[in-house]
Amino acid sequence: MYNEGDTPGVGKYECTNCGHIVEIKSDDEALPICPTCGNDTYKKVD
């Protein structure tokens, strides 16, 4: 699991609350608060 503010690396991350996918395109990009539901926890999906 990854949280908002983490920099987990390039890939796609799914919100654990609503399933919204966030794509991180660089290793220094941080996960945002979910733009759909405001949740702050994600799991990697690819």
**pLDDT digits 0-9 by tens, 5-45:** 999 999 999 999 999 999 999 999 999 999 999 999 999 99
* Domain regions of the chain by residue span: 1-46
Whole-number pLDDT of residue 46: 74
Q: In what order do the strands lie in the sheet with 2-3?
A: 2-3, 41-44, 11-15, 21-24
Residue 31: CB atoms within 10 A of its CB come to 19
Whole-number pLDDT of residue 36: 98
Give the list of residues 6+ apart from residue 25 with CB closer than 8 angstroms, or none.
10
Whole-number pLDDT of residue 16: 98
Whole-number pLDDT of residue 6: 98
- Residue type for position 24: I
Cα distance between residue 10 and residue 37, in whole Å: 22
